Amino acid sequence: MTDRDWYDDTDEQDAARRADRAARMGWTVIAGVTGALGCALTAGAVALALAVVACLYVVVG
């Protein structure tokens, strides 16, 4: 026999705790990837703008 009684829901609480932890980790990863892609897109746009300005400078000069 086990020493756990009929209304023991330790397993369900443990599963819910692990699910919450996994969900938080997932949202953290999603936010990190989104932020990194945003930074990369911004850096690419700045590089493109600088390239356009440099080309215009060469053409006008």
DSSP string for residues in 1-61: --S--TT--HHHHHHHHHHHHHHHHHHHHHHHHHHHHHHHHHHHHHHHHHHHHHHHHHHH-
Domain ranges of the chain: 11-61
- pLDDT per residue, tens digit, the chain (61 aa), is 456 666 778 889 999 999 999 999 999 999 999 999 999 999 999 999 999 999 999 999 8
What pTM did the predictor assign?
0.66
